[in-house]
Amino acid sequence: MSEYFDPSEQESKELVPEVKSKMSDYTEDTIADSEGAEQRSVKASISLPDFFHVNYRLDDTGNPTFKDDVVAKIMAIFDQKVGTQPTFEEKEGHAPVDEQIVKFEESVNNIVVGFQELTIVDPQSTGLSFLQLCTRTWAEFASISYDYQTAMAKAGDEIPDWLLEREQKMFDLGRKARMMSMALSDLDHSFGLKEVSIQRNRVQSAVEQRLQRLAEWNFKQYADTSGKTALKLNGATKEHMQTMFDNA
């Protein structure tokens, strides 16, 4: 034999699989995630108008929910507005600015006096209830402000009546949120709680709950789930066929 190894002297064979694949080995799920593929197919079978996807989304199982980026934008508005004072302007048909300020301060004082009467019995529960009301008001104010901004960005030369109403509601909620915050500050020691302040994480939770309710409501109103129903029926039919075949 030669002292050196020569590959050409060796007998070679074509490298091929010993067992050929069967048709049953193939699946439409190319990433071997049968459960995930089923979820994605359900989601894709639901038809919704474009406006739904602006603020809401569908999870992998086709259930409506809020979008995290929308929550972040709403909370950015809260961060910008919380702790600020209400604005008073001279407008036609409105009282002078001085009178507006006096009326605002009187309203705050009325809230304080009214809740102080309620703190005579179980002040802690009264304080928690008022704090929750303040939290929801700030969440609503920030959310309506976001809705107004996004709608105005798409509005043409003429502002529709519903958007003008939304504009007025934004101002009214802003006034209410600041009024309640000032009253909460004055009532701080009346509730017997360690801390009485607007917490950002609680406002965000209220924002998410609001968006979740709206997502579910709009889904019920506008979702076309006929494709999802057909998908379930097709799956049930296939399962029935397989059962009958196995039992035959």
Q: What type of residue is 78?
A: F
What are the pLDDT tens digits along the chain (248 aa)? Answer: 445 445 455 555 555 555 555 555 545 555 555 444 444 444 556 889 888 998 999 998 889 999 999 999 999 999 999 999 998 888 777 889 999 999 999 999 999 999 999 999 989 999 999 999 999 999 999 999 999 999 998 887 888 999 999 999 999 999 999 999 999 999 988 898 888 889 999 999 999 999 999 999 999 988 886 644 444 544 455 564 566 546 54
Helix (H) or strand (E) holding 104: helix 97-118
Closest CA to 200 of 105, 40, 25, 79: 79
- Which residues on neighbouring strands pair with residue 66, listed in sequence order? 56
* 124 in a structural domain: yes
Indicate the SS3 state at residue 64: strand
| Residue 237 counted as domain residue | no
Cα angle 147, 152, 153 (rounded to 5 degrees) comes to: 105
Res 130: pLDDT? 94
Helix (H) or strand (E) holding 133: helix 123-154
pTM (2 decimals)? 0.72
144 domain residue, yes or no? yes
**What does the pLDDT read at residue 61?**
84
Beta bridge pairs of residue 5: none
Residue 133 domain-assigned?
Answer: yes
Residue 209 counted as domain residue:
yes
Question: Is 223 within 8 Å of 48 (Cβ atoms)?
Answer: yes
**47 domain residue, yes or no:** no
Structural domain of 100: 68-83+96-214
Note the pLDDT of residue 225: 63
Domain for residue 100, yes or no? yes
Q: What tokens does 185 get?
A: 């500050």
User: Is residue 106 a part of any domain in this protein?
Assistant: yes
Count the domains in the chain.
1
